[in-house]
Amino acid sequence: MALVSVLAVSDTFLAEPVSPELILVSPPEIARVARAQLQDLRRPSIQAPAPPRAARGTSGRALELLVVYLFCLFITLGPLVFALVAIRSGAPS
């Protein structure tokens, strides 16, 4: 493996912007040139998220959550109850 010196790195070597992850693992000479390129880039402004639409009543959400909890409880405990009933009734396995 050949070592890259600062003389071998020119501005034309990194014609496209380099990702920040590559800057972290690059040799110091290349990282310095890449950081200089990243500082020249304009970053788009980030807009604040739009305010949420009129939310439904909280009772609707509470009902949906209750239905989900009951469904999860049923699919978890249902097979256990069926197995216990089958064992108590003496059904052959």
pLDDT in tens, 27-53: 888 778 777 776 666 667 778 887 766
Which of the residue ranges 4-13, 15-24, 30-39, 84-93 would you say has the lowest mean pLDDT? 4-13
Quote the percentage of the chain above a pLDDT of 90: 24
Distance CA 29, CA 34 (A): 9
Torsion of the alpha carbons at 14, 18, 44 and 36, rounded to the nearest 10: -60
pTM, two decimal places: 0.33
Distance between start and end Cα atoms, the chain? 68
Task: Write the CB contacts of 13 (distance below 8 Å, at least 6 apart in sequence).
Answer: 30, 33
Q: Give the residue extent of every domain in the chain.
A: 7-42, 56-93
Looking at residue 11, what DSSP letter applies? T
